[in-house]
Structure 1
Amino acid sequence: MRKTLSLIGTGLAAALALTACGGSESTPGATPDPANPVTVTVGASPVPHARILEFVDQNLAQEAGIDLEIQEFDDYQTPNIALSDGSLDANYYQHLPWFEDQVATKGYEFEHGEGVHIEPYAAFSSKHKNIEDVPDGGTIAITNDPANQVRGLKMLEEAGLLNGIEEDSAALTLTEEQNPKGLTFEENQPEIILPLVEDPKIDLALINGNFILQAGLSTDDALAVESVENNPYANFLAWRAGEKTEAITVLEELLHSPEVKDYIVETWPNGDVTPAF
């Protein structure tokens, strides 16, 4: 691994900073060769994605003829901006509903591989010890992006707080039948929700799996945890459409290797990260 960067923020400034970093140092379309590895620049969330990539880079990549340059991102927008503008060869952080929403709303021309792992969504509270303790009219902190918001609503339905959640349901437009407890929802960017666990106004905060891990938390302490069975939110490798090079093909294969599966299970034995293959 050549370097790991931490990049925070969204928008044009972040995109320009990434562009200045440049992409791969070797020819992207070169044939992987252990004697002269092809550099693949991959953007990833710090945990678990970058850690999984580091395992691949340190244990599997050289023999397969690739060298991973890993760039870490602390938000969900910049990795796709960087992939689109050519600063990255691929990124590894997103699931299919998010990917499809980004492609539809931003016009990205991307392709993706098969799911590698699932990080279950979870609900945390500093005020309550059980999900049943959330009062009528309680305040729920929830992500503002549609792809992950409905995921949180479905988890609350599984926990018995909501009813009849559909794929197009939105927190701020739930009916009385869907929201019988009259819960109040506060929307925010997913990376900002974690600190709200300690906010005395918040009864429950719904947090994405990678931010749970990044904060050193565990779903063992959550009031509700998303089921991983038949879960459509597996994270995968993505690249620009028509630009799946031999090196990216090799990386896709390594991410689905028995060694990576074993690494995930051994590193997160409680299921905070679960293999999807």
Structure 2
Amino acid sequence: MFDRLKGLSPHLALGAGALALSSLLAGCGGGASDDDSVRVGVIAGPESELMEVAQRIAKERFDLDVQIVEFTDYVSPNAALADGSIDANAYQHAPYLQAMNQDRGYDLVSAGNTFLYPIGAYSRRHDSIEALPEGATIALPNDPSNQARALLMLDHAGLISLVDDQNPESTLDDISDNPHGLQFREVDAAQLPRSLDDVDLAFINNTFAQPAGLTPEDALLREGTDSPYVNLIVVRNGDQELPKIRHLVEAFQTEEVASRAEALFQGGAIPGWQ
């Protein structure tokens, strides 16, 4: 049942520490029924900075205290949300949420959109996709939905063929034709920038590309703005209409947050609510 999520174990430093902190908070009050505070899980780094802007706006406009809990992996924020350690998280898109709900038995839903972070294919060895050699080594994210995004881009670029070129759950097993003998290496998303010296091409989400000094213009392939992979603010089913959740969403979906995203990501974050 969990096969599609293998290889996504939490990091043993900040991710584990943040999860321990959120668990401690849960032990002090479960899912927090108070209406004037909300605990939100985010991925440490630029996304945390965006939530800090929303944190300020939420306090100014709604007198809502937003407590930010940072994680460094893609699994712990949903686990913490499902067990009541946090009240919401903001880091994932709908296909990933669907996979987690199905594989882990969660009942988590979207409360609102945040940003589309286009995934791109980067290389330090080659200047164009056409320059890739036969048998090139391609690094892919090891989480199911982002790996599918990369495979769909490779299919659309004509480098491979998939059984279904519209399937958001495509895996390496769904490659029906690999005419260039590409070799694939599955890597934790946060470690993909470090793999660039060892592979011909690496598919890196902008969440991790930007801190590594990569810009969308550096990508040899880039996801289009019509992508369905817009990120979400996610909550437990039934909480999406709570006043504090609606206020959190309203505080995030503001021009102030969008402006900060533009400064941080330089075109690599597209507001999903506009």
| CA separation of 1:25 and 1:106: change in aligned 2, threshold 3 A | closer
How far 1:205 moved relative to its partner? 0.8
In the alignment, the residues of structure 1 paired with residue 205 and residue 211 of structure 2 have an alpha-carbon distance, to the nearest angstrom, of: 10
Q: Deviations over 1:88-139 (max 9, x none)?
A: 1110001000000000000112121232211110111121111111112111
Amino acid at match of 2:237: A
Higher mean C-alpha displacement, 135-144 vs 55-64: 55-64
CA deviation map 1:61-100 (0-9, x unaligned): 3321211111111110111111112111110001000000
Instruction: Go from structure 1 to structure 2 and tell me whether the alpha carbon gap of 1:236 and 1:23 turns closer, same or farther (over 3 Å shift).
Output: farther
Identify the residue that residue 243 of structure 1 maps to in structure 2. 239
Equivalent residue for 2:219? 222
1:258 Cα deviation after fit: 3.6
Cα deviation per residue 1:164-204 (whole Å; 9 max; x = unaligned)?
4341432244122xx221211111222222211111xx111
SS in 2 for 1:207: strand
Amino acid in structure 1 at the alignment position of 2:22: L
Between the aligned partners of 1:27 and 1:163, the Cα distance in structure 2 is 45
Letter in 1 for 2:182: L
Deviation at 1:16, TM superposition (A): 4.4
Contact preservation (8 Å) 1:112, 1:237: yes
User: Structure 1 residues 113 and 198 mapped into 2: Cα distance closer, same or farther (>3 Å)?
Assistant: same
The aligned residue for residue 34 of structure 1 is none
How many residues are aligned here?
258
Q: 1:259 to 1:124 in 2, by over 3 A?
A: same
Q: Which amino acid aligns with 2:102?
A: A
* Structure 1 segment 189-268 matched on structure 2, within 5 A: 189-199=188-198, 202-229=199-226, 231-244=227-240, 245-268=242-265
Alpha carbons 2:112, 2:234 under 8 Å: kept:
no
Work out the CA distance in 1 between the residues paired with 2:257 and 2:18. 31
Alignment of structure 1 residues 1-277 onto 2, 5 Å = 8-9=14-15, 15-22=19-26, 28-31=32-35, 38-164=36-162, 165-167=165-167, 168-176=169-177, 179-199=178-198, 202-229=199-226, 231-244=227-240, 245-268=242-265, 270-277=266-273
Three-state SS of the structure 2 residue aligned to 1:243 is coil
Match of 2:112, SS?
coil
Distance 1:26 1:19 in 2: 9
Is the CA contact (8 Å cut-off) linking 1:93 and 1:235 kept in structure 2? yes
Compute the TM-score of the two structures, normalised by the length of structure 1. 0.83
Distance 1:25 1:56, change over 3 A: farther
Preserved contact between residue 55 and residue 65 of structure 2 (Cα < 8 Å): yes
Are the aligned partners of 1:23 and 1:88 in contact in 2 as well (CA < 8 Å)? Answer: no
Match of 2:192, as an amino acid? I
- 1:271 is paired with a residue whose SS is coil
Counterpart for residue 8 of structure 2: none
Partners in 2 of 1:69 and 1:196 — Cα distance? 33
Gaps of 5+ in 1: 1-5, 32-37
Structure 2: gaps of 5 or more residues: 1-11
Query: How high is the sequence identity, in percent, across the aligned residues?
Result: 33
Contact between 1:136 and 1:183, CA under 8 Å: does it hold in 2?
yes
Q: Which range is displaced more, 118-127 or 209-218?
A: 209-218
| Distance (whole Å) between structure 2 residues aligned to residue 182 and residue 215 of structure 1 | 29
Q: Secondary structure at the match of 1:175?
A: strand
**In the superposition, relative to structure 1, how do residues 94 and 24 fare at CA in structure 2: closer, same or farther (>3 Å)?**
farther
Shift of 1:215: 2.3
Query: Amino acid of the residue matched to residue 87 of structure 2?
Result: D
Alpha-carbon distance in structure 2 between the residues aligned to 1:60 and 1:17:
23
Q: Are the counterparts in 2 of residues 8 and 75 from structure 1 also a CA contact under 8 Å?
A: no
**Counterparts in 2 of 1:18 and 1:259: CA distance versus 1, 3 Å:** closer
Question: 8 Å contact 1:28–1:247 — kept in the other structure?
Answer: no
Q: Distance in 1 between matches of 2:59 and 2:209?
A: 28
